[in-house]
Amino acid sequence: MGQPTGQQEQLFYEFRLEDWVPADHLLRKIDAVLDLSALRRELAPFYSHTGWPSVDPELMIRMLLVGYCYGLRSERRLCEETHLNLAYRWFCRLGLEGAVPYHSTFSKNRHGRFRESALFRRLFEEVVVRCMRAGLVGGEGFAIDASVIEADASSGRKVDGKLTVWPDTEKLTRPVREYSRRLIRQRPRRQRSRMPITICRPATRPPRQRSHRSPIRPRRGPTKGSARSGLPMAPIT
């Protein structure tokens, strides 16, 4: 029966990542038609020329495509799978020793550079245009996909259909709140407390509570009466 004889690890390996990805792999087909050459030009105004080297935006977009294709919704798990899977590393141009970005990098760029530059919208429009050129879609209509979730509902406890009155705080979207905060920060400090900027209806303030003062106690003395009235003062018994 065969058994490995040497326990010492090999010092040098002859390994080529290109040879380990099958020719019919899905990521190979996507990589053949994927063109992200204009990505850095679109995001150039949103990056600084000083400081620490930034994460390559093309790397993040390729990792997000891997997550969309293989159902990796968690960015933390996406980073773990990209670190272990050779095909993912090949598609993301990481090689064997490339460092995978931290999972919080995606959320920071999604709410920062990617939102300010409308990168995802432009990528989506570019994909739709290429699909129209290839004859895959006509571009005349759109469809909305939904997931059917089984609910534990009882027909005996149904509620009459009425319009739900949402509070004003729930109606505000994230861009509106961010715009309101930006306006408040731009105003001088003296005016912030006088005229606060609110998008929703301000909450009703509770009435001010008056301070309860201790009742005035009469002075204790040997006599009782009023000096102004001129009446005689009787002694206190």
Boundaries of every domain in the chain? 21-133
**Residue-by-residue DSSP string for 51-102:** SSPPPPHHHHHHHHHHHHHTT---HHHHHHHHHH-HHHHHHTT-TTTPPPPP
Which pTM value belongs to this model? 0.56
Residue 217: pLDDT band by 50, 70, 90 thresholds? low
Residue 141 has pLDDT above 70, yes or no: yes
Residue 225 has pLDDT above 50, yes or no: no
- Arithmetic mean of pLDDT, 141-169: 67
Convert the pLDDT of each residue in 8-42 to its tens digit: 677 777 888 899 999 999 999 999 988 888 888 88
Question: What is the pLDDT at residue 32?
Answer: 92
- Arithmetic mean of pLDDT, 72-97: 93
- 142 compared with 42, residue with greater pLDDT: 42
Distance from C-alpha of 2 to C-alpha of 7, rounded to nearest angstrom: 14
**Three-state secondary-structure class, residue 187:** coil
Give me the long-range contacts of 90-98 (CB less than 8 A, separation at least 24): 90/17, 90/18, 90/20, 90/21, 90/27, 91/27, 91/30, 91/31, 91/62, 91/65, 91/66, 92/59, 92/62, 92/63, 92/66, 93/58, 93/59, 93/62, 94/59, 95/17, 96/15, 96/17
- Arithmetic mean of pLDDT, 185-203: 57
What rounded mean pLDDT belongs to the chain?
Answer: 76
Convert the pLDDT of each residue in 90-114 to its tens digit: 999 998 889 999 999 998 888 888 8
Residue 227: pLDDT band by 50, 70, 90 thresholds? very low
